Amino acid sequence: MQQLAQIVMTENDLSEQEVIQIVKEMARDGSMALEKHFPVLASPWDYFRTPTLSLWFWAAFVATVLAVNIVLFIPNFFPLVAIRWLSGAILLLFLPGYALLRALFSAATAKGSLERFILSIGLSLAIVPLIGWILTYTPSGIDLVPVTVCIAAFTIVLLTGEAWRESRHLLRR
């Protein structure tokens, strides 16, 4: 694309801004279609190593691991307990729903950012009690460590599954 722009600029004596404006107008009126460029992937592992594709996965993965570590290892003293509450709220109220939302709706059917945020909270409010209900029938019961670990495991499994599915989809392109 860059080479094409250089040729058009030299042959028609146009500036770079003029070429950009012409391309935007052509895309707007439908005479030219611009498609999103996806890097060529040799394997699903390349998806995880490509930051432009897997940034959502790594951000959610790191947020989950960080929240688990903060909830489990920060002491319950006043100044630090606020950080613990905040990370626990993110772990309970957002991350499981976000992971399920990504798994249910692919990026092709992406909703707006606000819709995704609200749906993530709603799904988390539905998932976390179910995980708690299942934990009541286990020997460990409902305690801080089993609940935190199960919610984190649920989130990470869904995130990894969706990232793997998306990488396989991009490999087929």
Mark the ranges of the chain whose per-residue pLDDT is less than 50.
Answer: none
In terms of domains, do 16 and 48 share one? no
In terms of domains, do 48 and 31 share one? no
In terms of domains, do 110 and 145 share one? yes
104: closest CA among 165, 46, 58? 165
In terms of domains, do 2 and 59 share one? no
In terms of domains, do 99 and 21 share one? no
Residue 171 confidence (pLDDT): 82
In terms of domains, do 78 and 1 share one? no
pLDDT in tens, 131-167: 999 999 999 989 999 999 999 999 999 999 999 998 8
Helix axes 144-172, 113-135, angle to 10 degrees: 130
In terms of domains, do 62 and 125 share one? yes
In terms of domains, do 49 and 9 share one? no
- Helix then strand then coil, in percent of the chain rounded to 5, is 80, 0, 20
The conformation of residue 158, written as its DSSP 8-state character, comes to H
In terms of domains, do 159 and 106 share one? yes
Query: What is the span of the domain harbouring residue 10?
Result: 1-35
Q: In degrees rounded to 5, what are phi and psi of residue 159?
A: -60, -45
The overall average pLDDT reported for the chain is: 87
Percent of the chain at pLDDT > 70 equals 91
How many structural domains comprise the chain? 2
In terms of domains, do 79 and 126 share one? yes
DSSP string, 90-110: HHHHTHHHHHHHHHHS-GGG-
pTM: 0.75
In terms of domains, do 112 and 156 share one? yes
In terms of domains, do 142 and 118 share one? yes
